[in-house]
Amino acid sequence: MTVAPRFQHKNGTLHVEDVSLAQLAKEFGTPLYVYSRAALQDAWESYARALAGREALVCFGMKANSNLAVLAEFSRLGAGFDIVSGGELARVQAAGGDPGKVVFSGVGKQVWEMQAALEAGVKCFNVESDAELDRLSKVASTSGRVAPVSLRVNPDVDAQTHPYISTGLKENKFGIAIEQAPEIYRRAKTLPGIEIVGVDCHIGSQITEAAPYLDALDKLIALIHGLREDGIELKHLDLGGGIGIRYANEQVLEPEKLFSQVFERLEAADLGHLELVLEPGRSLVGNAGVLLTEVQYLKHSDAKNFAIVDAAMNDLLRPTLYDAWHDVEAVNPRPATAVTPSYDIVGPICESGDWLARERRLELHQGDILAVMSAGAYAFTMSSQYNSRPRAAEIMVDGTRAHVVRQRETIAGLFESERTLPADVLNNS
């Protein structure tokens, strides 16, 4: 049993849907990201079930995985997108997504990004500060457009997750303190080029408890009631993303259970008419992907056993950045024996922090293929070329077929946009 239902051992070898991962490694090389289309659909279904018959929009938090094939699949299923940059907007457009279902988050929106989003006709700007509101008003009114706006409020709740991915506390840079929100809404109402449409919050990521969501919701409900008294009516409520996935043995939140409580509270507060917007990232893609890697060397010392593999922190930064756990499965597993060691699984990069997993008891040989599980979210999107390592290819499997959805980068591509100083400069020095 793996943490990901679409990745299962069949006849002693790990498969994704009906395709052998050993075969994919052989055909396309390693490191290799492999996604399951069916797993994307399963994850989407869990939200669709939870929101059936409701006024709701799921905007995929695409920073988790912005491959065009992933975006196109979610777009086909009816998703909108939560973007945080002009680059992400361009990806949505390239994938055929509907800009009218895009919400634009982020604390540092630049003028050109606002212009592009206005031109594309996004559903909403999630505004994160007073200064941003002023800039947006100016950019919109000079181009003769009206910017639909939500304020992203910071409800000051503890999402009980890793501090680097917790965003809803007072000390985080995100959002507008909830106590300041009414005043800024009142000001927004008077600004040219601004139309107030909603309220937004996002309290963190890899959340496994319902309580922080419900606490944030209660605070937003109180805010919305207050705004009503000021004559400000909203159309939607955006609760952000954040639902955690199973990396090891976490008990995860079921969208159906969580959102039935959300709808109940909204109805009890006489706010059942509001459209619910969500921005899930990880929970839509995390367990739809793995990172395949080949064991290059086994190295044994008194203190440690290392399996040195061809994937590294540049391909999967999460372990070293967040101390994150990713399950590691041998694609063709061998039974453990009394002398099977525990390995630290490390990459070739020249940093002690270059590790993917620690202390894993696996019977390994040189040349074995390993699958680093739960690598569909924040894996490729956080990758780099550190140590001049071309980024790995991405494959999407659909039943019995495998499609290359991103070519492996080439060595020449690493520096094709670089130039040495011109010869006359060099020769005169």
Q: Which residues bind ligand LLP (CB under 6 A)?
A: 61, 63-64, 82, 105, 165, 202, 205-206, 240-243, 279-283, 318, 322, 378
Distance between CA 126 and CA 116 in Å, rounded? 15
Nearest to 293 by CA among 14, 1, 8: 14
Is residue 136 within 8 A of residue 149, CB to CB? The reply is: yes
Nearer to ligand LLP, 200 or 215 (CB): 200
201 catalytic residue (yes or no): no
The amino acid occupying position 78 is G
Residue 80 C-beta: closest distance to ligand LLP, Å: 12
Nearer to ligand LLP, 99 or 286 (CB): 286
Distance between CA 218 and CA 235 in Å, rounded? 17
What is the DSSP track for 322-387? Answer: H-----EEESS-----TTPPEEEEE-SSSSTT-EEEEEEE----TT-EEEE-S-SSSSGGG---TT
Nearer to ligand LLP, 36 or 85 (CB): 85
Nearest to 286 by CA among 206, 211, 361, 348: 206
Nearer to ligand LLP, 58 or 402 (CB): 58
Q: What share of the chain is helix, strand, coil (3-state, %, to 5)?
A: 35, 25, 40
Residue 364 C-beta: closest distance to ligand LLP, Å: 26
Question: Judging by DSSP bridges, how do beta strands 393-398 and 401-406 pair with one another?
Answer: antiparallel
Residue 206 C-beta: closest distance to ligand LLP, Å: 6
Identify the DSSP state of 395. Answer: E
Distance between CA 378 and CA 316 in Å, rounded? 8
Nearer to ligand LLP, 88 or 215 (CB): 88
Nearer to ligand LLP, 239 or 392 (CB): 239
Contacts of 403 (CB under 8 A, 6+ apart): 69, 395, 396, 397
Residue 383 C-beta: closest distance to ligand LLP, Å: 12
User: Chain centroid to CA 114: how far?
Assistant: 22
Q: Token digits for 222?
A: 């109180």
Residue 77 C-beta: closest distance to ligand LLP, Å: 17
Is residue 61 within 8 A of residue 84, CB to CB? The reply is: no
Residue 321 C-beta: closest distance to ligand LLP, Å: 7
**Of the listed 59, 124, 201, 350, which one is catalytic?**
350
| H or E, element range at 132 | helix 130-142
Nearer to ligand LLP, 313 or 362 (CB): 313
Residue 142 C-beta: closest distance to ligand LLP, Å: 27
Catalytic site residues?
Answer: 350
